[in-house]
Amino acid sequence: MDKLLITGGTQLNGEVRASGAKNAALPILAATLLAEGPVTLTNVPRLRDIRTTLDLLGRLGAHLTQDEDGVVRGEPSTLTRFDAPYELVKTMRASILVLGPLVTRYGQADVSLPGGCAIGARPVNLHIDGLRAMGAEITVAGGYIRARADRLHGARLIFETVTVTGTENLLMAAVLARGETLIENAAHEPEVADLADFLIAMGARIEGAGTDRIYVQGVDRLGGAKFAVMPDRIETGTFLVGAAMTGGRVRVLNTRPDCLEAVLQKLRECGARVETGPDWIELDMQGRRPHAVDIHTAPYPAFPTDMQAQFCALNSIADGVGVVAETVFENRFMHIPELQRMGADIRIDGHLAVCRGVEHLTAAPVMATDLRASAGLVLAGLVAQGETLVDRIYHLDRGYDNIEAKLAGLGAVIRRTSATAGEVESA
């Protein structure tokens, strides 16, 4: 099992290029099931979750390939099966995103319930309720969602809770449904708008994506398209936090500042100088220690829950006390016991984490539990005294494209090893 070894104490300085957004690429790959023409996707990150999705699509009969530059190409295909089995879905919850496309184009889908994960129960009831409202006959039994429909019809859907993949699944279902669909209390996340832009490029008729009201006029078929996936705002934010924690100066290229306003605001609040251009963001900490900041996670455009662990790491060495409120997921503080092992002074009180900054952290063997928690532990390793070993980094590989090379390029002392803990390979 791969591990990362990080020797703390160096500043991050220089330029790094953001990869394409995992959470835009995953729904867009699912949407290729709707295409009746060839598709070409550029700026697709090279990640474990992308490979898992390509494997799932291939299993259904849709054969897409990703080349060494990350470009994904596929020809229209006739599916040979319409199921997503548990052994695959349990490795990646986002597999649920094939549900909407399969039902709306092929009238059938047997998709395993994703089940929970480290950060929460992760129900998909809102996905199911929406498809039922559009005319799908759905039974949930034996751990599977079994959906059948002649042709979905448009509906007025009102989400009781903002759900990103729920919005995406029903948007994909609506584009081929008969008639009009209005999705209210829709997720605003930029990745939802990116999916909509891809669907529109294939011929879908969508208005309002990126707001809380999305209007769709169903069409009979969609063609192929060439499309560039948007940059990853969470990867971008992760590098910026690393610069703030190490006192360095980092410019992230090929990114979109407009998608990170809430995060940039917090980085300025902790004392960083932040400048932005059309496709770049530069953070200069000028060698200073960050001030602690309060964080309250919530749906976009508020502060993203996917940046919460990274800011817990920043607050752990910041000057002062920062209170972090996690309001989206019920168990997203798994990184905190690991940070405490490194000397962080953080107290969990329900959905609050009270972080009292310490002068320095101390390196320790720690364990990644979920994707963003592992990012927070890597950042903590950058500033800890000594050599931190982060175990189970397969979590990290799900969402970060070659993170150790990118961090090393900014000056971090970091390397990947597969030695068992305590038997670290010789340097």
Q: Under the rule (CB under 6 A), what is the footprint of ligand EPZ?
A: 22-23, 26, 94, 120, 122-127, 161, 163-166, 305-306, 328-329, 371-372, 399
Q: Taking phi first (over 0 means left), then psi (-120 to 50 degrees means alpha), and beta for anything else, what does residue 298 get? A: beta
84 and 95 in contact (C-beta within 8 Å)?
Answer: yes
Name the token pair of 164: 């990103």
CB closer to ligand EPZ out of 113 and 285: 113
Q: Which is nearer to ligand EPZ, 94 or 183 (CB)?
A: 94
Beta bridge partners of 222: 35
CB closer to ligand EPZ out of 66 and 305 = 305
Kindly list the strands in the beta sheet with 72-74, ordered across the sheet, starting from the edge strand earlier in the chain. 64-66, 72-74, 39-42, 225-228
Cis peptide before 301, with omega less than 30 degrees from 0?
yes
* d(C-alpha 195, C-alpha 190), whole Å: 9
Closest approach of ligand EPZ to the CB of residue 307, in Å: 10
Give the shortest CB-21-to-ligand EPZ separation in angstroms: 9
| Beta bridge partners of residue 108, listed in sequence order | 148
Give the separation between CA 251 and CA 245, rounded to whole angstroms.
15
Pairing of strands 295-296, 280-284: unpaired
Give the nearest distance from C-beta 6 to ligand EPZ in angstroms: 21
Using CA atoms, how far apart are residues 289 and 164, in angstroms rounded to an integer? 35
C-alpha 173/C-alpha 104 separation (Å) is 5
Comparing CA positions, the residue from 105, 88, 104 lying closest to residue 155 is 104
Measured distance CA(416)–CA(187) in Å, rounded: 36
Q: Is 117 among the catalytic positions?
A: yes
* Backbone φ and ψ of 112, nearest 5°: -60, 140
Least separation in angstroms between residue 369's CB and ligand EPZ is 12
Q: Which is nearer to ligand EPZ, 292 or 377 (CB)?
A: 377
Q: Kind and range of the H or E element at 213?
A: strand 213-217
Min dist CB 194 to ligand EPZ, Å, is 11
**Length of the chain in residues, anyone?**
427
- The nearer residue to ligand EPZ, 239 or 247, going by C-beta atoms, is 239
Which position among 117, 270, 312, 355 bears the catalytic label? Answer: 117
Which residue's CB is nearer to ligand EPZ, number 43 or number 305?
Answer: 305
Smallest distance, ligand EPZ to C-beta of residue 22, A: 6
Active centre residues (catalytic): 117
